[in-house]
Structure 1
Amino acid sequence: MSESPGVIVLAVHRPEPTLLRRQLESIASQSLEQWICIVGIDGIDHDTASLIHQIIGCDPRFQVVEFADNVGVYKQFERLLGMVNKDSSWIALSDQDDYWHEMKLERLVSALDRFDVTGASCQARVVTAAGVELRRTARRHKPLMSLLIFNEVTGSLSIFKPEVLSLALPFPPQSNAAIHDHWLGVCSTAMKGFYITEDVLQDYVQHSGNVIGEQPPSQAIRAATTDVLFHRATLQKFTTDPWTWRVSMARTLMTRFAPSESAALKVIGQGRLTPTLGRLLLNEAKSQRIPARVAFAMSLGAFRGYRKPRQPTSGSYCGEKVG
């Protein structure tokens, strides 16, 4: 009996046609050929559906789903992942505007088995829409608590074992700071681990329509510092909202799973600044597992206390910047 194919879930919303064509063609050209790609259009868009069918032609591996409602990137990936057959060999996430190198799937699928983990990811060239390289990512493995506080997982660079969905679905409540790949990375790390290779296997395209961009760390630090110090309205955005998201993840994880770091999860799950939480954040920063700016922002958020998650505008595409 042959092994079940893997599944790629690709979220599409008002794409740039040239970039979408390039991405679909790069998926079709993967050296690993046994997969199904669910292309989910977030909201009725007949022109985009027609374009996708024109690009994929008669390739039976692609399945196009045009959803009636526009729910935004977080809920879109949640419902696409809910369509995945639990017998699938693996699951990959895809954005609509990147470019996969030919060996990407083959190498990441191999890493899942070789390192006996539930998730794996790669590095990427960060490029302009014209393909000019700006820099390269430097993703690093982090233990569960460090990853919960500071995300190193980019969904479009990653693949997962299907058992991750038994823990991840349904997603925690949606909010302004909720990020699907952060949650999936946390779930994978809590189960059997998440492996990050040094191999560059993708082009991560930056353009004006990005949902979550790839900011250089120095730029992210300047933006966060300026906003927090000089714009009161964004104190919520950079401290309270991200803190509330991490509390939500910790609480959801504790209700579904019992990882070895459960004591630390309880500290975050309390949702408020305590001496124990302060020491935890300080130790994470001193050990350089998380940036000091992130420890400071989480401390401010915890000091303000857990707030009911702010719901984004219906169908919006928002999220934290990845520094």
Structure 2
Amino acid sequence: MNEPLIYILLACYNGEKYIEKQLDSIVAQSYTNWVLLIRDDNSSDSTLEIIESFNEKDKRVRIIQDKIQSEVKGACQNFARLLDVAVLEEATFIMFADQDDYWFSDKIEKMISAIDKDLVPAMLYSDFLYADDNLKELPKNIQNIRETFSFPSFNSLIVQNTVYGCTMMINYALAQKCVMIPREAENHDYWIALVASGIGANIRHLEIPLMLYRQHGNNVSGNYHDHHYVSRFKRLFTNWEGLKKVECRRIKMLVAFLEQLNNELLPDNLKLLTGYLEELKGNKIAFVRYCVKNKIKRHSFMSTIVFYLVLINVSKRDTINKL
């Protein structure tokens, strides 16, 4: 076939309630030259049985098992193992699927038509629609909460990722730079976005919704409730310690990122990130001034203020001083 083989990576865990619908939507794609790699993180429900039933009917659905099956915990490292396999098999283009979403039938077709076909590192990401637990589209006012702006700058990615893995397609050249996702990574999609922006990959936003993003109580990321100002203030005042832990983990990810991609980053991005980590260890006012000067901010003014408040509180903690 002249059409490139698309690798779809799906990491799952206890997804029996939703995964069958997602698999149905992938099998029904108008673009048919794909292989779906699925890795189950030791589910205790019937998830694996559902996957095996699809594998029996369609050999494009492959179940990935490895020697460290019992050691890998969490969605990020589950996806990391799948990405390792895809790169080892020299996948030309790679997509990521969550177990609880639903793809429109032309998702792959539209994305493969739009992604840069050059050999330089490239990423394409699409829009999506929020849906309820039963895959019914949520009202327009909720859809408008979604950030639909262009891909965030490296300055913004230092503190926040707004591009979800389930909307991404990347090529082999970029995937090679992303492998060996460290355990410090917050999410696989955050890591990939950082790498893509940090090294100056060709990044495009396809402003078409190509999937339903199911909303329920167990979303790993991207729940629309998190974007409300009321929700942000509530988290600030009721979960202060939790917010500090999140930022400390993000800092650890950035340190690992700098160590791993040091020689790949664009000079300005290398200088920016190195300066950011250094300023974290110093004076709090100087740190905020550095962030403002270098436009290191989140997607909204209020989110940025909350971020500054949290970071200046943890900047003297042992986690920071050990950088």
TM tier, smaller: 0.7 to 0.9
Alignment-derived partner of residue 211 in structure 1: 220
Alignment-derived partner of residue 125 in structure 1: 129
Change (3 A) 1:307 1:155: farther
Q: CA–CA distance in 2 between the matches of 1:57 and 1:235?
A: 44
Q: CA–CA distance in 1 between the matches of 2:52 and 2:252?
A: 41
Moved more, 37-46 or 240-249: 240-249
State the Cα RMSD in Å.
3.0
Q: After TM superposition, give the deviation of residue 223 of structure 1 in Å.
A: 3.3
Number of residue pairs matched? 304
- The answer for unaligned runs of 5 or more in structure 1 is 310-323
Which amino acid in structure 1 is aligned with residue 20 of structure 2? R
Alignment-derived partner of residue 240 in structure 1: 248
1:11–1:77 Cα contact (<8 Å) kept: yes
Q: Does 1:34 align with 2:33?
A: yes
Change (3 A) 1:230 1:32: closer
Q: Secondary structure at the match of 2:134?
A: coil
Q: Deviations over 1:267-320 (max 9, x none)?
A: 12324356665345325769x8732234334433255227549xxxxxxxxxxx
Work out the percentage of aligned pairs sharing the same amino acid.
20
Q: Does 1:183 align with 2:191?
A: yes
Alignment-derived partner of residue 101 in structure 1: 104
Change (3 A) 1:238 1:171: closer
Change (3 A) 1:13 1:282: same
Q: After TM superposition, give the deviation of residue 91 of structure 1 in Å.
A: 0.5
1:86–1:162 Cα contact (<8 Å) kept: no
- The answer for unaligned runs of 5 or more in structure 2 is none
Q: After TM superposition, give the deviation of residue 213 of structure 1 in Å.
A: 3.8
Change (3 A) 1:232 1:184: closer
Which amino acid in structure 1 is aligned with residue 94 of structure 2? I
Q: CA–CA distance in 1 between the matches of 2:277 and 2:89?
A: 30
Q: CA–CA distance in 2 between the matches of 1:87 and 1:232?
A: 44
Q: After TM superposition, give the deviation of residue 251 of structure 1 in Å.
A: 4.6
Q: CA–CA distance in 2 between the matches of 1:264 and 1:12?
A: 36
Q: After TM superposition, give the deviation of residue 56 of structure 1 in Å.
A: 4.5
Alignment-derived partner of residue 10 in structure 1: 10
Which amino acid in structure 1 is aligned with residue 163 of structure 2? V
2:14–2:46 Cα contact (<8 Å) kept: no
Correspondent of 2:83 among 81, 84, 89:
81
Instruction: Return the TM-score normalized by structure 1.
Output: 0.81
1:240–1:307 Cα contact (<8 Å) kept: no
Q: CA–CA distance in 2 between the matches of 1:218 and 1:257?
A: 30
Give the alignment of 1:1-323 within 5 angstroms.
2=2, 4-17=4-17, 19-43=18-42, 47-66=46-65, 68-69=69-70, 71-84=73-86, 85=88, 87-113=90-116, 118-134=122-138, 135-136=142-143, 137-140=146-149, 141-174=151-184, 178-191=186-199, 192-216=201-225, 218-219=227-228, 221-237=229-245, 239-270=247-278, 271-272=280-281, 277-283=287-293, 290-299=299-308, 300-302=310-312, 304-305=314-315, 308=319
Q: After TM superposition, give the deviation of residue 266 of structure 1 in Å.
A: 1.4
Q: CA–CA distance in 2 between the matches of 1:166 and 1:188?
A: 11
